[in-house]
Structure 1
Amino acid sequence: MFNVVSLFAGIGGICLGFRQAGFNICWANEKDHAACLTYRHNLGDRYLVEGDIKKINENSIPKADVLAAGFPCQSFSIAGAGKGFSDPRGELFFDVVRVASAIQPKVIFLENVENLMEHDNGHTFQVIYSSLVELGYLIRYRAMPTHEYANIPQTRRRIYIVAVSNYELCNRFRFPDPVPLTTSALDWLDRKNMQPDIYYYSRDTAFERYVRSMVTDDRYICRIYNGSVIKLKNRKCPTLTATMCTPQNAAVIKDSFGVRRLTLRESLKFQGFPKDYYFPKTIDIQSAYKQIGNSVSVPVIFRIAKNIHTILLGDNNNSQ
């Protein structure tokens, strides 16, 4: 079984996708304590190291076939600050390089926002690309929207980078092909059963009265962004982001009982997490929403990881 080291593991979306594809997660790291609680609750505690990657000696990390990292994207996103490498979170990419240099994986897998390619007029992506090349890797990358590659109606656009250690492996690797989208976002929602009160905009405040006045059509999902309500007519869920932890930035629907946010279960479903994946009771709802928005589309990760597994298996067979 091929081993994976996972950096910036969050609640385990990348780890879960690789595990589903047949990999063994031998070491994972996450700094955020609340995310670690959710990770352990669902994926166990055997290999998760909680702490700041900058304070972890790279020589203490085990060797692995794959280094996976969904390094923080807020520094490069349109919705975020966009400060790139001048933001301490953006600098964390260089910890990926530091660890990769130490453990020398055959494959490096990276996930980030699509805007990474355009940030700072392409300079940011060029630095990332060049850094991987200087380590001896050949690079393949593709922007892959969730609704085109996972049959999940969420308009989540992310770039996936696969850096491979030799030409033969790189030449055999293929990103998965698009798949048809066969459902609309409304098909994924439970609108017939009343949800807990915490999800509904039912209080008598100016903002919640405004939301109720704007979300009157149950045929659409609406997005609240910086206090404005936008009706989405593309039959898809908007990109789930960390900012949806507040009612002022949320995906909203009208059901049979009122106007409400997407539930945590619905949000996890739009990210492709399995039905048995959920949050421990110690996690509050704001943290849970933030964790979902910071995570990944698990089925997209699985499809890419499956193709990585195929080339590694072929390389292993050829070396025997």
Structure 2
Amino acid sequence: MVICSLFAGIGGIDLAFKQSGFEVVWANEFDKDACKTYRHNFPDTLLSECDIRKVNTDDIPDFDILAAGFPCQSFSVCGNKKGFADERGNLFFEIMRIADAKKPKIIFLENVANLTEHDNGKTFNRIHNELSDRDYYIRYLIADACNYGIPQHRTRTYIVAFKDFDMCNKFQFPKEQPLKKHIFDIIDRSVKADDSFYLNENSVQYQKMNAAITDENQIYRFSDYGIQKSKDGISFTLKANMGTWYNRVPIIKDNFGIRTITPQECLALQGFPKSFDFPDIPMKSMYKQCGNTVVVPVVKNIAKQMREVGIYK
């Protein structure tokens, strides 16, 4: 079974499916720096870098599964919540345009948890109806990554739509699993980071954070409401605004001082392997990409469940 990936970003969904034995044959992403990261890590996948609205469906090779983590800002409680009235929200219908042309066996979608509640449920009903009108049978799950083995609170909506009723009927989302790792099982405090990540001890930012760090086993960050502290060794949600406002990057106290976590550590908290890396792009783009991607192991486990219902036959 082969995958077509839309709104691919740096390839979190693609990596999860590849880890589960699927092949990604074609992907589309518009952000230039995200494309650089994608190409750096997926050199064998054909990547289209044009605006999805300009994609000619005749240029897309045949595939079995359409996967898309479509833009979430218009549905998020942290965004403007304009939904389909927002240009970014309307990009969902580009997924339907490509589905109409290519008729995939399965459609996999990922978005924010608020997708089901947005506009009193009307947005999710519209998405459901668009899929149902195309004869897809639908399963969905709202899941927090920390309930699936990753020490980050990141709640997302996952939708799997099948053309085949029997496959949909047999399919089950992965069961929750106990959390065995916490923040500092992922981030090694005994290894010194580059000096540029450490706060200047003479800065106001350092003084405020130093006073706020009462539990060195938690992670911290500046927010609109002051300094935010994690609980139970579980990171709060990594956000794309880390790339816009550097002071929103999470902060820890390690064996050498107080510092922001690195982009590579952000990837680790999203479940990416150490082999996944960034090319030479601006630091702000790295952080933005980390906040925009998915928790890889959660998607990987969903992809595994797809295989177990016979999709791979």
Residue aligned with 2:71, SS: coil
| Structure-2 separation of matches of 1:268 and 1:57 | 32
Are residues 241 and 7 of structure 1, via their aligned partners in 2, closer, same or farther at CA, if it must alter by over 3 Å?
Answer: same
Decide whether the 8 Å contact of 1:4 with 1:67 is kept in 2.
Answer: yes
In the alignment, what sits opposite 1:221? Answer: 219
Match of 1:302 among 293, 300, 312: 300
1:123 deviates by 0.9
| Structure-1 separation of matches of 2:294 and 2:20 | 15
| Structure-1 separation of matches of 2:231 and 2:23 | 41
Residue aligned with 1:22, SS: coil
In the alignment, what sits opposite 2:61? Answer: 62
Residue aligned with 1:248, SS: helix
Unaligned runs of at least 5 residues, structure 1: none
1:144 deviates by 1.3
Q: Which amino acid aligns with 1:8?
A: F
In the alignment, what sits opposite 2:187? Answer: 189
- Whether 1:34 and 2:44 are equivalent positions in the alignment is no
In the alignment, what sits opposite 1:110? Answer: 109
Q: Any idea what the Cα deviations from partners look like across 1:78-106, whole Å, max 9, x if unmatched?
A: 12222211111111100011111111011
Q: Which amino acid aligns with 1:140?
A: R
1:200 deviates by 1.7
| Structure-2 separation of matches of 1:312 and 1:60 | 29
Decide whether the 8 Å contact of 2:15 with 2:296 is kept in 1.
Answer: yes
Q: Any idea what the Cα deviations from partners look like across 1:99-150, whole Å, max 9, x if unmatched?
A: 111110110000001011111111111111111111110110001111112x
Unaligned runs of at least 5 residues, structure 2: none
Give runs of ≥4 in structure 1 deviating > 4 Å. Answer: none
| Structure-2 separation of matches of 1:250 and 1:212 | 16
| Structure-1 separation of matches of 2:38 and 2:126 | 31
| Structure-1 separation of matches of 2:3 and 2:188 | 36
Are residues 237 and 305 of structure 1, via their aligned partners in 2, closer, same or farther at CA, if it must alter by over 3 Å?
Answer: same
Matched residues, number:
312
1:172 deviates by 1.4
In the alignment, what sits opposite 2:290? Answer: 292
Residue aligned with 1:254, SS: strand
1:48 deviates by 0.9
Residue aligned with 1:73, SS: coil
Q: Which amino acid aligns with 2:220?
A: C
Normalised by the length of structure 2, the TM-score is: 0.95
Decide whether the 8 Å contact of 1:215 with 1:259 is kept in 2.
Answer: no
Decide whether the 8 Å contact of 1:189 with 1:266 is kept in 2.
Answer: yes
Match of 2:230 among 229, 232, 235: 232
Supply the RMSD in Å over aligned alpha carbons.
1.6
Q: Which amino acid aligns with 1:229?
A: I
1:222 deviates by 1.4
Normalised by the length of structure 1, the TM-score is: 0.93
| Structure-2 separation of matches of 1:133 and 1:8 | 22
Q: Which amino acid aligns with 1:93?
A: F
| Structure-1 separation of matches of 2:214 and 2:270 | 26
In the alignment, what sits opposite 2:120? Answer: 121
| Structure-2 separation of matches of 1:143 and 1:211 | 33
Q: Any idea what the Cα deviations from partners look like across 1:1-30, whole Å, max 9, x if unmatched?
A: x11100000001101111111111111100
